[in-house]
Each structure stands twice: as C-alpha cells, then as structure tokens.
Structure 1
C-alpha cells in the first residue's frame, strides 16, 4: 500500500513536531538526578537551601564561592567565599568558615556542609549557618 505525497506530508510534519517533545520528556523526567554533580554546583544548592530553611524564605544573592574538586568517592574538598541572604529588604553578608566543605559520597552524589558566619547581626536572618545536605 502506497501513500500519496499529499497525504504523507502532514504526517511527517506532525511527527517532526511530536518526536522532539517525546524525546525530551523521556530524557529528563521530573526530579531527574544530576548525572555528574560538581562540588561548586552542590555547594550553591546548599546555599539556596540555607536561604530557604535557616533564612526562613530568604533569597541567596551575590554567591561568590570556590570549592576544591571532589572527583573520586571519599574525596573531601574545602570551600571558601561568601554570599548574601536577603529578606524583607534586609541583607546579611555571610563568610564561609573553615567547616565549609564538600564530600563525594558516590559517583552521582555530593554532600555539602554550608558553615558560615554573618559579618553583623541582621534582624530576621541567622547570625550563623551550619546546614548539611546533598546533591544527587
């Protein structure tokens, strides 16, 4: 059975529109894991978590951190730098302490510990933070 080109053209056009959409949905389902997480990526997630949890809904701004790479399972890396938390128009500047670090816990997961101290106390924001979590 052969199809005429006039009937086949709309089918090809429809397939070209639907196929990329289906491929994207299969390739990256909601809540997909990070394929190869990096230390800096995990630590920035940690800072956003600090803003949400310890800052009770604050926003993380001016994130300026550096983290030592952790390529192999069991590797630990120090992180240095600073960030700001903003809430209700008030801004607190935080500097990371010596406890700030990352740890590769598996090939696809990195644990972070965001330990920091505010330059000065700001009403509604914590004076210091110490939150651990992971990115996978």
Structure 2
C-alpha cells in the first residue's frame, strides 16, 4: 500500500505538532517551579558525593536550612551527612560556610562546606562545593 501525497501531508503536520509537545513534557527538561533551600542543599550533598567523593553514595542526611523565600535572601545550613564508598563510610559535619542563596524566583544556589570527623582513605577530608538548583 502506498500513501498518496494527500494522506502524507496530514501525517507530517500531525507529527510536527506532537513531537515538540512530547519533548517539552519530558521529565528530563522539567524545571523546579518553586525550589526550597533544603531541596537545593540535599542536591548539593549528592553532587559532593558524585564529584568530590568520586562516585560515593550520600546517606544519613540530617540537615536543616533557613528558608530563602525572596530573591537575594541568604540562609545558613547546619547538620551532617555520610559518604560511603568501597565499604568505607565517612561522617561529615557542615561548617559555618554552608549556606543557600536565592538567585532568582526559580533558582537557589547552595554551598556545601563540610569537614570529616575522621579521615577515611578514598574520601575527602573536607568538602567545599557550590552549585545551584533551578
């Protein structure tokens, strides 16, 4: 069965309308509508595990952050978390430099600054990573 030009054109038009809609609706492109300070900071801890911990896994995250509802608000974060890699676990406590900062209505910057309570081979003795959630 061959399609005539009269049948192909409507299919092409329909495909051109549906394809961008599917791309926009995909979860990979979804932005956080109203990010929260704790949400951004937990993302920062997972980034620390991935980047500074060379693929370690973050666990036992016990962190509190001051809310940053308005643009240019800054908030301190306190608490601790663990990083595990190759059967070894290091416990990290946040330093005074740990904080969040709302850079726009839809984005929060984080700074994860922490020190290990005991050095573990293969994991950093301290961390200091900044990034953002949007």
Matched, 1:100 2:98: yes
**Mapping for residues 68-83 of structure 1, pairs under 5 Å:** 68-83=66-81
**How far, CA to CA, are the matches of 1:26 and 1:113 in structure 2?**
30
1:52-110 alpha-carbon deviations (Å, 9 max, x no partner): 00000000000000000000000000000000000000000000000000000000000
What corresponds to 1:134 in structure 2?
A: 132
Q: Which runs of 5+ in 2 are unaligned?
A: 1-20
What corresponds to 1:111 in structure 2?
A: 109
What corresponds to 2:65 in structure 1?
A: 67
For residue 40 of structure 1, the aligned residue among 38, 58, 63 is 38
Q: Which runs of 5+ in 1 are unaligned?
A: 1-22
What corresponds to 1:17 in structure 2?
A: none
**How far, CA to CA, are the matches of 2:22 and 2:79 in structure 1?**
36
For residue 84 of structure 1, the aligned residue among 69, 76, 82 is 82
Q: How many residues align?
A: 114
Q: CA deviation at 1:32?
A: 1.2
Over aligned residues, Cα RMSD in angstroms? Answer: 1.5
**How far, CA to CA, are the matches of 1:123 and 1:63 in structure 2?**
21
